[in-house]
Structure 1
Amino acid sequence: MKFNVQFILLSYDGYMPEAGEDRCPVKARTMIGGMLAVAAVTAGGLWQAAVKSQTPRKIPITMTPPMPFEDVTFDSGGGRVHGWFIPARADMPKPWPLVIIAHGWGSNRSRVLRYARPIWEAGYALFMYDVRSHGASDPVRAASAYLFRDDLLAALKYTTARPEIDPDAIGVLGHSLGGLGTILAVTEGIPVSAVITDSMPSQFEVIVSSELRRRRLPLFPLAQLIPRIWFWRLGESLSSYRQRDPVIMLNERRRGMQLPMLMVHSKGDNFIPRVSLNILCPKPIRL
C-alpha cells in the first residue's frame, strides 16, 4: 500500500483524497488552470483585436474649403455630427442643387476636399461632414457601415430642411465605406437624384480581409472569428447581415427605380481591390 501511495505521489504529485475532497490531482489542476489561462489570454487578445479593428483612427481636420463655407452640426443617433455647408456660387439662382460628399473609414471631411472644387464650380452647393467616430464628430461604441448609412440619412434630413436647397436636386458622392453607406441608404429608398461611388467595398468579406491586411493580422482564423465579435457589439447576428447583402438588395431595388448611378474604382487602390466593382457590374467600363 505504501508503494501505491508513493506511486501516486511520484506520478501525479498528489495524494489519496479523503471522502468529499477534491479528487483532481495538483498537477492536473495546474495543467487545466494553465490551459484556461492560455484560453483566456487568447480570447482577450482576440477581443482586443476585434475592438481595435472596429475603432477607426481619429484623424484631425487639416484643411478647410477654399471657398466660403459654414460650420454646422446636426444630430444623428443621439450624437453630434460636425460638417461644412458650402453655398453655391454667388451667380447661381436659388434653390440650389446640392451634392453631399461622404468620406470613408478612418478619414474625415477634409480628406475628401479633392472632390469639392470641380463640383462647386459646376454650380452646386456642397455638404461635407464627419461620420461619428471620425474627425470632430462624437464617438460611438462600435462603428460599422450602418453608421455611415445612418449619418448620411441624418445629413439628408438636415440639408433638405434648408430653404436654399432644392430637395429634388440632391446627389451623393461616397468614397470607400462612405460609398457602401450610400448604397445601404439607397436600398432604403433615399430621396436623391444621383449617386456616385468611388473605390467602394461591395461585400462584407472584402472589408474584413482588407482591414486585417492593413493591420498586418493573419486572415486565418481572424477573418472567421472577428466578424462575430463585431456584430455582437452591434447587437445583431452575422447571419442577419448576410441576409441583407448590399449587392442583392441594390440589384432588387434598382429594378424599380430610376436612379442614375456612377461607380468608379481606381486601379491603384491598395486597400479595397478593384474586383469589388465587378461584383456589382460584371462588365465595367475601363478608363
Structure 2
Amino acid sequence: MASSYMSITQTMFSSKLCSGINSFSSCSIYTKNSRVSIRKGSTNTSFHLDLSHSHRSTLKHYTRVRKSESDWEESIDEEKSDQEESEDEENDDKKEDYRAKETILKLYTDIKDRNIMEKDYRAEETVLKLYSDIKDRNIEGISEVIGDECQFFSNFLSKYRLLQGKKQVMAFFYWLIMKLGKDIKIIVKPTFKDGMTVGVQWQLECDKSHIQLGKGFSFHICHMYQGKLLIKNVEMFMEPIFHIEHLRLRTMAFAVSIAEKIVTFLRQAENTRRQAMALLLLVLLLLAAAAFYVTRLRF
C-alpha cells in the first residue's frame, strides 16, 4: 500500500516537473553588458543586446570627450590662423617700416648730396668773387669773403712768409692791387673742387697788349661761420717775375751785347786796361745778380 502510494507520488512529481520544463518558454542569461534571450519552440534562436546604464554613461562621456577634442582642435586651428595673420600683419608692418626708412634714407641722402653740391657751388663762387674783386680793385668785396682767422701763404713774399689773421691778409691784397695797377688784369680758371676746397689757375696779362706777365695757381679752403661762407686758408704760388718770358729774353740780350763789347774792348786795350775791365765786368755781373732779386715782387 505504502509502496504504491510512493510510486503514484513520484509519478505525479515527474509529470509536474516535465510539464514545468515544457511550459518553460524562455531562459534569460544576463551578462554585465547585455542580456541574451533564448526562446524555445521555434527553429531560429534570436539574440538581443541591451545596453546597460553604465555603458550609456561611458558612451556619453566619450562623446563629450570627442566634442571637447574637436573644440580644442578648432581652437588650436583658430589660434594658428590668428598667429599666422598676426605674423603676416607684423611682416607687412616691418616691410612698410623698411620702405619708410628706405624712403627717408634716400630723401636724406638726396638732401645731403644737394647740400654738398650747393656748398661746392657756393665755395667756388666765393673764390671766384675774391679774384673778381681783386680785378675790380674792390677792397670791401675782398673783406666780405675773408675770414677773421684766415691764414695766407705765398711766394710773393720774401722768405715765404705766413700771414695770419684778416688784417694781414687784407694788407697783402691791398699791396697786390696797388702793384698790379690798372693796366694788368688777372684771368682765373677753376681747376678742381672737393667739398670746401677749391683750386684755381690764374695768369696776369697786360690789358692793352695782352702779353702774359706771369702765371700761378692757388688753393682755397672755405668754411661756414655764422651762416656765411668764408675763406679760411689761401695758398698762392706764382712764377718769379724774372722768369717771365719777355723780361728774360731782354735781360739775356742785354747781357750778351755787353759781353761782346767787353771782349772787343779787351782785345784792343793794354794789360792795365784789361784788369780794369775785368773788374768792371765782375761788378756788372754782381749788379745783374742784384737786379735778379730786386725785380722780384716783395712785400
Please, what TM-score do these two structures have when normalized by structure 1?
A: 0.30
Higher Cα radius of gyration: 2
Q: Which protein, 1 or 2, shows the higher relative CO under an 8 Å CA cutoff with sep ≥ 6?
A: 1
